[in-house]
Structure 1
């Protein structure tokens, strides 16, 4: 996937520039990423796109040395299912 990484956001644009998938993670005052929103367009649901977004986010956070606090329900569930990523949690 050709995700675009921006401060506080990783997303996948469609050919028309429309957001097809996105995870947002603004940093709080402690510098902890608050994973507050995960979105996947209906055309991509059921294909593991949200999991790919969170895996890309985990890799990004790890490379930047940033800890995370999952707030949205999908992120909470993803971290529960991936014990190998628990070191990223604040």
Structure 2
């Protein structure tokens, strides 16, 4: 799958341009972003796409020298299951 990395967003689209998955993490303040939204198309659920989005987002956040908070319910739950990634 070809994930597209943008500033504060990672997404996956079909060849026809349909949004299949995304995670957004806008700047909240100073050097802190807020992971505030994840979406995975129903056809892709259960295939670890949301997990991949979280890992890619955390990699991007770290590479850019930022820290993060999370208000997205999926992200909060994911971080509870992966305490090694907590801010």
TM-score using structure 2 length? 0.93
Specify every segment of 5 or more residues in structure 2 that has no aligned partner in the other structure, as ranges.
none
Corresponding residue number in structure 1 for 2:35:
35
Cα distance in 1 for residues equivalent to 2:55 and 2:8 = 15
- Indicate the SS of the match to 2:38: strand
What does 1:16-55 correspond to in 2, within 5 Å?
16-55=16-55
Corresponding residue number in structure 2 for 1:83:
83
Consecutive aligned runs of 4 or more in structure 1 exceeding 3 Å deviation:
none
Structure number having the greater strand percentage: 2
Would you say how many aligned residue pairs link Structure 1 and Structure 2?
87
Specify every segment of 5 or more residues in structure 1 that has no aligned partner in the other structure, as ranges.
none
Cα distance in 2 for residues equivalent to 1:11 and 1:28 = 20
Q: Deviations over 1:24-55 (max 9, x none)?
A: 11102323111110000011011111001001
Q: CA RMSD in A?
A: 1.0
TM-score using structure 1 length? 0.90
What does 1:8-23 correspond to in 2, within 5 Å?
8-23=8-23
